[in-house]
Every structure is written in structure tokens, then in C-alpha cells.
């Protein structure tokens, strides 16, 4: 393999993505350390603490059960702001449209985007539109950037997990990735829908109930729960132990994964979060999530332990122990 070429696997969110970012992108344009690489940047503006993030969306198909590229472009960006504890406020929107794209379809997708923004209580305040020649893009790409406000003094980031912390997952694993794959390939998904949704309501509940016992937040998108947990273990220098039996997985997701030889732990979500909280507030935080519609299936799935730094292990449903590593290549292309 020519190591000079960018492969699809470099966009998976897994090992190849981390190599591309760590060896080329980040050192060249910013020089941020691994501990500073979170879902959003924290900025100080006078007495205010702001969060800033950006993301590109290239999902195929453009519309899928439970959402579209329009709603996804809002949810993905507001959730990245929420994952450092910031209340999302403003978005920008950049469109790259391929020549020949339907005006009617574009209008429908932009209406999805507007509805999602209204639901998330954010405003789209600036943007840009480009049209490229036929065959030079795949119909429509959207880039959104977001600004949010931190209204507390907590430091919530991937390097803050502590031994003893409980790991909470806010709902079932892999819904988005399998819904998109089923739509793309024409598979019967038994009514499965993407979980794409704004997560600030869940985060606000955690901030209120867990307070300074809330240490880490992440939404497990590309690379799924497994890759996200591995990232946190490396950033925090801790050992994570999760329980397979405690991880909620819908029967439709499990059935499709079994049929296709996929692992739900590596399938993307777009409306779930992982929260690392101090043990003394874990049950209170869990109950707060379960009272909300998006968190009704929340569960404590593991703990942070003393041990070999950067390792994630899973106690399987049959009692064995399995080591969890990052996704090596591209499991499901074009899911966000």
C-alpha cells in the first residue's frame, strides 16, 4: 500500500484517522497536544468562556430513517459543543452543491436543517454556498461551525477521567450507523431509525445533578462506543472496564450486525453520550437522564480503574475478558 495516499480508512475515526491527525494535520496547522484535542475548543473572551467547533457532513444517502444531512449537520455540531458543557447558541452553514442537484430536494434538506436548529434553540447566523461542476462532488456536502457558552466553571474534557468514575451511556448503541447502512443498501431494518438528536438537554441535566462530579462527556460518533472509550482511556491515562451485558443494543441493530459481521460497539451514534461521573453522584445522574425521553434507556456500563494506562477491557456476557482497541479501518463509510 502506498503510504502517501489518503484512504477511506483515514476518515473512520479509528486508528488511521488518529495517525493522519497526529502525524500530519494537527502538527502542521495547530500543534495542539493530545490532551487538548476535544470535541470543541475552549476560548476565553473577557469574562466569558466560549466553545467553538466545526464539522463536515458527507452522509450517503442524504435522507435516511430518522433524519437527513440537514438535521445531522445541526445535531452533530451542537452536540460537539455540549460535550464540553457549553450551551449551543450560533451556527454557520457552508454548502458545496454539485451541478445538477435538484432545487426542490435542496429546499427540503435546508428545511430539515432549519427545523433541527429551531429544536436545538440555535440560530444559523452566517454561511457560504459554492457550486462545483458535475462529477466533482457527490451531490451535496454541508459544513457547520458552532459557538456555545459555558455557564459554569467546570473543566469537562477527555483527560479528566478518574479512577472510581462510573461510565454512563445514555441509550442504545449503533442506531445511526445501522439505519444509514440499511437505507443505503436497501436492507430491512425492522423500522430502525437513526438516533440523530440534540443532546444539550441531557447535558444540562447532568450539570445540574452531578455538578463537579461530572468529569468527561463524549458523543460516540465515528468509530462508535469502543473507539471513543479508547480515546478517553489514552487521554486520561487510565484503565476502563465495561460490561457487555450492561450495554443496551436494539434487536434490529444486533440482528443487522450479526448478519453483516459487524460489532455494534464500533457503529456510529448521533444522539447518544458517554458521561464519566464520580461514583457518589452516579445513581442520581443516571436517574436524571432516565427521566428524559432521549435518556430513558441510559445505563451504567462500566468503571474507571487503576491499571495499565490507555487500556479498555470488556467483561463479556459469558464471563471472559476482551480487550477493546480502536477501529483499524473503515467499517461503515459515509455515515456522517
Would you state the pLDDT for residue 39? 84
The DSSP symbol for 86 reads P
DSSP type of residue 292: S
Three cell numbers, residue 274: 458517554
pLDDT value at residue 9: 73
pLDDT, residue 75, reads 98
pTM exceeds 0.75 for this model:
yes
> Model confidence over 108-165: pLDDT tens digits?
999 999 999 999 999 999 999 999 999 999 999 999 999 999 999 999 999 999 999 9
Pairing of strands 87-98, 123-132: parallel
DSSP string covering 27-50, please?
Answer: HHHT---GGG--SSEEEEETTEEE
pLDDT at 332: 77
Low-confidence ranges of the chain (pLDDT < 50): none
| CA nearest to 220, candidates 161, 169, 281, 185 | 169
How much is the pLDDT for 20? Answer: 77
Angle CA 292–121–192, to nearest 5 = 50
C-alpha cell at 209: 445533578
Q: Residue 330: its pLDDT value, please?
A: 65
Amino acid at each position: 500500500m502506498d503510504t502517501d495516499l489518503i484512504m477511506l480508512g483515514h476518515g473512520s475515526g479509528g486508528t488511521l484517522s488518529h495517525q493522519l491527525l497526529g502525524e500530519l494535520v494537527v502538527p502542521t496547522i495547530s500543534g495542539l497536544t493530545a490532551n487538548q484535542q476535544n470535541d470543541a475548543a475552549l476560548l476565553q473572551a473577557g469574562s466569558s468562556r466560549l466553545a467553538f467547533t466545526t464539522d463536515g457532513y458527507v452522509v450517503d444517502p442524504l435522507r435516511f430513517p430518522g433524519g437527513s444531512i440537514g438535521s445531522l449537520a445541526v445535531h452533530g455540531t451542537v452536540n460537539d459543543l455540549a460535550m464540553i458543557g457549553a450551551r449551543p447558541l450560533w451556527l454557520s452553514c457552508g454548502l458545496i452543491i454539485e451541478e445538477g442537484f435538484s432545487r426542490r430536494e435542496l429546499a427540503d434538506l435546508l428545511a430539515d436543517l432549519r427545523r433541527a436548529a429551531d429544536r436545538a434553540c440555535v440560530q444559523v447566523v452566517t454561511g457560504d454556498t459554492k457550486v462545483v461542476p458535475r462529477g466533482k462532488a457527490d451531490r451535496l456536502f454541508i459544513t457547520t461551525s458552532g459557538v456555545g457558552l459555558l455557564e459554569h466553571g467546570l473543566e469537562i474534557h477527555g483527560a479528566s477521567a478518574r479512577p472510581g468514575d462510573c461510565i454512563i451511556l445514555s441509550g442504545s448503541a449503533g442506531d445511526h450507523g445501522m439505519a444509514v447502512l440499511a437505507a443505503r443498501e436497501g436492507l430491512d431494518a425492522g423500522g430502525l431509525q437513526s438516533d440523530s438528536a440534540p443532546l444539550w438537554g441531557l447535558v444540562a441535566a447532568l450539570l445540574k445533578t452531578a455538578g463537579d462530579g461530572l468529569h468527561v462527556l463524549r458523543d460516540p460518533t465515528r468509530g462508535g462506543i469502543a473507539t471513543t472509550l479508547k480515546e478517553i482511556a489514552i487521554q486520561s491515562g487510565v484503565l476502563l472496564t465495561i460490561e457487555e451485558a450492561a450495554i443496551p443494543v436494539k434487536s434490529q441493530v444486533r440482528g443487522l450486525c450479526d448478519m453483516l459481521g459487524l460489532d455494534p460497539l464500533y457503529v456510529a451514534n448521533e444522539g447518544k453520550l458517554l458521561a464519566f461521573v464520580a461514583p457518589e453522584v452516579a445513581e442520581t445522574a443516571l436517574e436524571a437522564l432516565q427521566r428524559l425521553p432521549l435518556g430513558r434507556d441510559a445505563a451504567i456500563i462500566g468503571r474507571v480503574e487503576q491499571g495499565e494506562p490507555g487500556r479498555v477491557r470488556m467483561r463479556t456476557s459469558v464471563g471472559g475478558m476482551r480487550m477493546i482497541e480502536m477501529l483499524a479501518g473503515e467499517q461503515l463509510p459515509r455515515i456522517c
